[in-house]
Amino acid sequence: MKKKIFVLLISMLACSGCSAANHETNTVSAVQDTEKQSEMKEAQTSEGEAASDDEAVVEVFAMDTYITIKAYGKNANKAVAQAQERVEELDKQLSTGLAESEVSQLNAKGGGALSDETTYLMKRSLEICESTNGAFNPIMYPIMEAWGFTKKTYQVPEKGLLQQLLTYTDIQQLTFDERQKTVTFGIQGMKLDFGGIAKGYTSAQIMDIFKTYGVESGMVSLGGNVQVLGNKVDGTPWRVGIQNPNTEEEYLGVLEVTDKAVITSGGYERYFEENGTVYHHIIDPATGYPAESGLDSVTIVSTDGTLADGLSTALFVMGLEKAEEYWKSNRESFDAILHTKEGQLYVTEGIADEFSSDFEYSIIK
Ligand code: AMP
Ligand code: MG
């Protein structure tokens, strides 16, 4: 019985969904919502338990989202338990919502010594920041605070305030010493925010844990951001549903993947509405306002979960044309599914054969 439920849960993977304004709702499957709730209940009551000898699943709430971790084969139980521990550790380290987290402490002190994890994240964030021309910016926290995204006290800030706060998001003012593992903020009040990359890093870490335990088939879904190891246990690729940003009732399409991260950024994932205008959580570092690039959903597919997460945010900010250009210069490291507000759907060539959709779509070559 349990086994069937777990398999159901995993066979329909989807990206995160959002139901109402002033809410952040992350679901494993938007389409199977009702079904999902009972599945989740079942999964929660069996936390850490194996569904069978060679299958383990855990459902946790961490990083402000529902996380499903699943592994098959020998050591599946141990691997999943270790993965859960890692998620909880990383949450405590990286969460800006916890005053005692490493990132909060760095922000309070204006920099300082970094752990191995934050050293790695800093390095990767700065690489992505540079290669995306600042579209990905890991020090957007002061702006996130001004919009109330950090405490769910949403408000539209004064333009003057945003202008002022943009001085804190100047990446040139941040000094990172990788060897010494330190970061220094050039202006008091600058603050780190790994929210655009942390989930991808976490899913990548889980794949590493799986590999350490010899697990050959497994997956994690962090609020719909998915990373998979190998194929499903029946030998066929994992199937990942890409959420339609306009409706929870359907997918934009389904992608078949093996050993990949599939990570989506969408304005629908966290937003609020004021006077009929929707303000979402992905900020254009050039303006301090929610990015209005014409894209409403960007999915990145890559073997590198950290990169996929960073790029999902960056390409959302860039918009279609720049995103296309960026892919063309970096096509060996990722693929993308892009959806515009007007409803056009684009898929890059590298995953075109693995993507299926009821919608019309163009292939970027
Ligand atoms: P994601 O869902 O991966 O696109 O990440 C969005 C989160 O990243 C937000 O909730 C912020 O914490 C942070 N963020 C917002 N805008 C940016 C940006 N331009 N670059 C990097 N991180 C950002
Ligand atoms: Mg991201």
Please name every residue paired with 70 in a beta bridge, in sequence order, or none if there are none.
Answer: 57, 219
CA 206 from centroid of its chain's CA atoms: 14
Could you read off the pLDDT of 175-207 as tens digits, one per residue?
999 999 999 999 999 999 999 999 999 999 999
313 lines ligand 1 (CB under 6 A): yes
29 lines ligand 1 (CB under 6 A): no
193 lines ligand 1 (CB under 6 A): yes
Q: What is the pLDDT of residue 42?
A: 33
299 lines ligand 1 (CB under 6 A): no
Residue 146 CA, ligand 2 centroid: distance in Å: 20
**Nearby residues for ligand 2 (ion, Cβ within 5 Å):** 196, 309, 312-313
| Closest of 297, 348, 302, 135 to residue 203, by C-alpha | 302
Could you read off the pLDDT of 209-254 as tens digits, one per residue?
999 999 999 999 998 799 999 999 999 999 999 999 998 889 999 9
Q: What is the pLDDT of residue 248?
A: 84
Residue 11 CA, ligand 2 centroid: distance in Å: 24
283 lines ligand 1 (CB under 6 A): yes
Residue 251 CA, ligand 2 centroid: distance in Å: 20
| Angle, helices 33-45/2-11, rounded to nearest 10 degrees | 130
The arithmetic mean of pLDDT across residues 333-339, rounded, is 98
Could you read off the pLDDT of 284-306 as tens digits, one per residue?
999 999 999 999 999 999 999 99
Residue 213: count of CB within 10 angstroms of its CB: 21
Q: What is the pLDDT of residue 28?
A: 28
- The rounded distance, in Å, linking the Cα atoms of 113 and 49 is 38
Residue 53 — very low, low, confident or very high, per pLDDT cuts 50/70/90? low
Residue 228 burial class via C-beta count within 10 angstroms: exposed 0-12, middle 13-18, buried 19 and up: buried
The arithmetic mean of pLDDT across residues 325-329, rounded, is 98
